[in-house]
Amino acid sequence: MADRGELGQRKAVVLHTIVEEYVRTGEPVGSETIAERGGLGVSSATIRNEMAALEELGFLSHPHTSAGRIPTDAGYRHYVDTLPVRGRLRDVQRKAIASHFAEAILDLEEVLKGSVMLLSRLTQYAGVAVPPGAAEEQLVRLELIDMGPTMMVLAVGQHGRVDKQILDRPEHWSTEAFHRAERKLRALQGQTYSGSQAKLLELAATVPADEHDLLLMVADVLRLATRGDHATHVMVGGVANLADEAQTWRRETLRRLFETLEREQEMLQVLHDVAADDVSVTIGAEHPTTGEWEASIVTAPFRAGEVNLGTIGIVGPTRMDYLSAMASVRAVAERLSEAATELEQ
Amino acid sequence: MADRGELGQRKAVVLHTIVEEYVRTGEPVGSETIAERGGLGVSSATIRNEMAALEELGFLSHPHTSAGRIPTDAGYRHYVDTLPVRGRLRDVQRKAIASHFAEAILDLEEVLKGSVMLLSRLTQYAGVAVPPGAAEEQLVRLELIDMGPTMMVLAVGQHGRVDKQILDRPEHWSTEAFHRAERKLRALQGQTYSGSQAKLLELAATVPADEHDLLLMVADVLRLATRGDHATHVMVGGVANLADEAQTWRRETLRRLFETLEREQEMLQVLHDVAADDVSVTIGAEHPTTGEWEASIVTAPFRAGEVNLGTIGIVGPTRMDYLSAMASVRAVAERLSEAATELEQ
DNA sequence: CTTAGCACTCTGCGGATGAGAGTGCCAGCT
DNA sequence: AGCTGGCACTCTCATCCGCAGAGTGCTAAG
């Protein structure tokens, strides 16, 4: 896309200044302000020419003739793409991150929950995360538990995930039949989720009908835990921040935003769409869903070693402090990766 | 408290009409409207006298001299306490409830989650629930699972709850020591959560220091699952409804409301405070927290047989359709009780 | 005790006005 | 050619005014 050179040095500076000023104040920015604070030794008339050009190019817009300019989604995009520096965190923020990761890490799921809240506090937006899927994780337990009229399938993964599902217990099953099924499942311990799942489907073809159904249901429990190689649920935290007065959303937009944040499948899709190999920013209409919200998403993957585990990030208004949001997300994702890597030895 | 007789028949009718009209329209209600729709064969001047008296008594208030009246929290309270009839559900609502409880119920936790969403859809407010605690539930599994550098304590209850916690695995433990601890825990299967917890504390006194610590930690896992005889977490759903344009909350109030809804411990406390033996209504300033939100809570307990399991209800604005909210909460709590009772056989 | 009537109060709205912010453009300067 | 000062122009926003409308509170009469 357009880079700094393509746009011309001065236009880029003007655009950056407008973005930063608008994000800071929430007010449309006028040429006078840029002339004063932009650090270009140039009059407001010159700035006005540049601004008209930037508007022509689609980077700025005009609420009305005699107001200042505000950035369009494309304007924010250019700003983000040409940021000359990585954002630096303030000391308080750095400390908050350090103290959050100071304790010995035992349960990644717990840490992830905490990290979502941490990010929401750091940025004053809402935190989101997609936890690791289980496809390649080893099963350390796969049990069938008799619970009277029902039975529970319980799967425990090497890294601490626990999936359960309660099923009908076929009435005519003898204790003997139950134990047989139990043993079959137990035999899969030590394999991966996806491996066991495949094996179960295989196995199902070779057994009588009622046991057949059971094995398929267990396979389904494993499938749900590994769906699309990612988790089945999304963590969301700090949504109250989005209701802050300082945010410019109309009620109706806010409502739709909250609605979607509650729908896990939809959020999962959105976060999947925006995921990238590094810190990624999706601004307003760049994605249909964020467009509907008039919001932006900043995410980063976290890894154990070289393997992507999941995604963590924030959701906020398009009028966002991208520099600091990106810095926070990057920092938390990095610490999280360190923690996860260590946890895998 | 004040009942219909105490207030006088006509005042009560006037108050009821004002509450219903105000809830319906959101506009302060004038004497003319009551004279027309109240069904009292009486002029607006008479109504005005009654209204002045009701204001004197603290049931109504006045935004300004020449606006109509709106109910105070005490006005809503009187209204709710003297409702002559139980609200009836509309057919769509009845159908929605029926279809939600139509499927065979296997997992109470899942059903409860669904019920919270159901209530939020029925009422257009936010649904909340406190799931059952585990104190008297039997443990069907209590396992210690070796996960390399860590270990997992896994507890499974008779009714399908699963609690897990990951702990540090003492480095110097031999496989032998691990198995010993494992066996000790397994021996507790079949007992209740609270029983096992007590037993563990006893046992801990009789063993060497490292095993001692472990047993205490396991006891703590059980304690967390049974804290205060209730669950440790709260389910919340449909909060987007609260951001609806029709609601009158200011942004700041809305923000505080969302903030608290996210804080499980605080919500748990509030729901504990407002809980009663039947459908219970808490209006605005009657509880400090709901006062801060300018909101009301309607809850009802759900039971298995005669035993209270938990609480389910809704959170909405003080300007709430109490009649229909109470009917919805009552109906869902009843179905839930039936389902839970059946599940226990 | 009720009611019609009426003066009174307060809000909300439309229109007028003026200040202020900011633009766009032009003509002259470097 | 690019920059700049100057200036007319536009649009918003706050304020004020006046007025219609809603609703009250009170009084005097039934």
Least confident of A168-182, A324-338, B239-253: A168-182
* B224: chain A residues, CB-CB within 8 Å: none
Q: What is the pLDDT, as a whole number, of residue A4?
A: 44
Q: Give A 270-309 residues with CB within 8 A of chain B.
A: none
The rounded mean pLDDT for chain A is: 91
CB-CB under 8 Å, A106 with B166? yes
The rounded mean pLDDT for chain B is: 91
Q: Which helix (H) or strand (E) holds B325?
A: helix B322-343
Distances (CA, A) of A124 to A28, A149, A329: 22, 48, 12
As beta bridge partners, residue A308 has A303
B192 Cα to chain A: minimum distance (Å): 15
**Residue pLDDT, tens place only, A305-314:** 999 999 999 9
Greatest distance between any 2 Cα atoms in chain A: 90
* A237: chain B residues, CB-CB within 8 Å: 262
**Residue pLDDT, tens place only, A18-56:** 999 999 999 999 999 999 887 888 999 999 999 999 999
Neighbours of A149 (CB within 10 A): 14
Buried b (16+ CB within 10 A) or exposed e, B82-95: beeeebebeeebee
Distances (CA, A) of B104 to A145, A171, A211: 19, 14, 20
* Opening angle at CA B231, ends A148 and A141, nearest 5: 50
Q: How large a percentage of chain A has pLDDT more than 90?
A: 70
Q: What is the SS3 assignment for A252?
A: helix
Q: What is the pLDDT, as a whole number, of residue A209?
A: 77
Write out the two tokens for B63: 């935004």
- What is the rounded distance in angstroms from the CA atom of residue A173 to the CA atom of residue A179? 10
Q: Please check whether residue A344 touches B, CB under 8 A.
A: no
CB-CB under 8 Å, B104 with A168? yes
Distances (CA, A) of B26 to A82, B19, B240, B244, B246: 50, 10, 20, 14, 9
Q: How large a percentage of chain A has pLDDT more than 70?
A: 97
Q: What is the SS3 assignment for B140?
A: strand
Q: What is the pLDDT, as a whole number, of residue A229?
A: 55
Calculate mean pLDDT across residues B307-311: 93
Q: Is the pLDDT of residue B292 over 90?
A: yes
Q: Please check whether residue B224 touches A, CB under 8 A.
A: no
Enter the pTM of the model: 0.93
- What is the rounded distance in angstroms from the CA atom of residue B297 to the CA atom of residue B238? 14
Nearest to B297 by CA among B313, B276, B309: B313
CB-CB under 8 Å, B150 with A106? yes
CB-CB under 8 Å, B345 with A106? no
Calculate mean pLDDT across residues A147-176: 89
Size of interface A-B (CB pairs under 8 A): 101
**B196 exposure class (CB count in 10 Å sphere: 0-12, 13-18, 19+):** buried
**Residue pLDDT, tens place only, A96-133:** 999 999 998 899 999 999 999 999 999 999 999 999 98
Q: Which of B141, B162, B251 sits opposite A243 (nearest CB)?
A: B251
Nearest to A21 by CA among A8, A31, A9: A31
